[in-house]
Structure 1
Amino acid sequence: MFSKQELQELIETVSQYPIKTFKYSDGTTNIVIKKDRPASMKQKNLDVPMSEAISDSEETPGLHKISTSEIYPEPLQPELIPVTAPMVGTFYTTAEQGKAPFVQVGDKVTAETVLCILEAMKLFTEVTARMSGEIVEIVAEEGQLVEYGQTLFLVKRD
């Protein structure tokens, strides 16, 4: 079990790293910390008092049990498909500085369309759409270090 102080320290530690989701489970307690949700997916104020920390354990005194679906409801537009980072690297929307970006919001794409480049240790990897659709949102920021599995783009599938 986590004390209030331990939970606060865990939240502070997670906030220092460029991760979007942190999950922990020991069989009786499940903790999920999510941050930096895209503006298009935010639905309500997510300020939850520490006394209402996410916990599935009935034995933890002082903690109120709530489900993660109450905190993070499903997106309003379930037809949006995330294009995620296939690796850790630095996110770039152009092949060269000063050039036009590969795609912009509203662009139609095919499975082979290059959306961005990820750079890791001077190796550049093209990320393709892997589906046909329309770019609805560019979630990552130019020059941002992204994690494996992090959402880079939201695409409305054709």
Structure 2
Amino acid sequence: MLKIQEIREIIKLVDASSVDELVFEQDNTKLKLKKNSGQTVVTQSTVAVTPTIETPVAAPVAAKAPEAPKAPEAPKAEVVADENLHKITSPMVGTYYSSPNPESPVFVQVGDKVGEESIVCIVEAMKLFNEIEAEVTGEIVEILVENGELVEYGQPLFLVREA
């Protein structure tokens, strides 16, 4: 059976994504998440269903639902069209980290030169830390996300002027 923390992490990822419905089945547990007009509805069933599992799971979701809309990203998309810059995008839904740990320096800053295999950030999803490579040679022009921010699949993270 899923732990409460694992369920909360899945809820955060679904809330931050464009996915409207997710069904997860494992052994004798079934977890179904469905978005309805900005709120996520959570149901979980097992062979022996206990109400204490469903109540704590549903409460945090209702409190988090109003935080989902983020509008300041639109102007940044215009920059890409105006300057013909390469976008490094997130390959998954997760949390963006600019450095390997809080004590370490950031992977890249504006003005840094990157190669195709240069690590530019980490996107953490389900407690797996995925290193994201630049996949292009050039110079970092703009960093479009903040450290610790939830990112969606395909969301632009960096703008790079190709060399």
Query: When you count strand as a share of all residues, which structure comes out higher?
Result: 2
1:56 alignment counterpart: none
2:82 equivalent among 69, 76, 92: 76
Q: Aligned pair 1:121/2:126, yes or no? A: yes
Q: How many residues align?
A: 101
Distance 1:147 1:155, change over 3 A: same
Per the TM alignment, residue 19 of structure 1 is displaced from its structure 2 partner at its CA by: 6.8
Secondary structure (helix, strand or coil) at the match of 1:126 reads strand
2:102 alignment counterpart: 97
* Structure 2 letter corresponding to 1:112: E
* Unaligned residue ranges in structure 2 (runs of 5+): 1-36, 39-65
Of all paired residues, the percent bearing the same amino acid is: 47
Per the TM alignment, residue 75 of structure 1 is displaced from its structure 2 partner at its CA by: 2.6
Query: When you count helix as a share of all residues, which structure comes out higher?
Result: 2
TM-score (ref. length: structure 2): 0.55
Aligned runs of 1:1-150 on 2, under 5 Å? 17=68, 36-39=73-76, 41=78, 75-78=81-84, 80-150=85-155
> 4+ residue stretches of structure 1 with deviation over 6 A?
none
TM-score (ref. length: structure 1): 0.57
Is the Cα–Cα contact under 8 Å of residues 87 and 149 in structure 1 kept in the other structure? Answer: yes
Task: State the Cα RMSD in Å.
Answer: 2.6
* Unaligned residue ranges in structure 1 (runs of 5+): 1-11, 21-34, 43-73
Secondary structure (helix, strand or coil) at the match of 1:149 reads coil
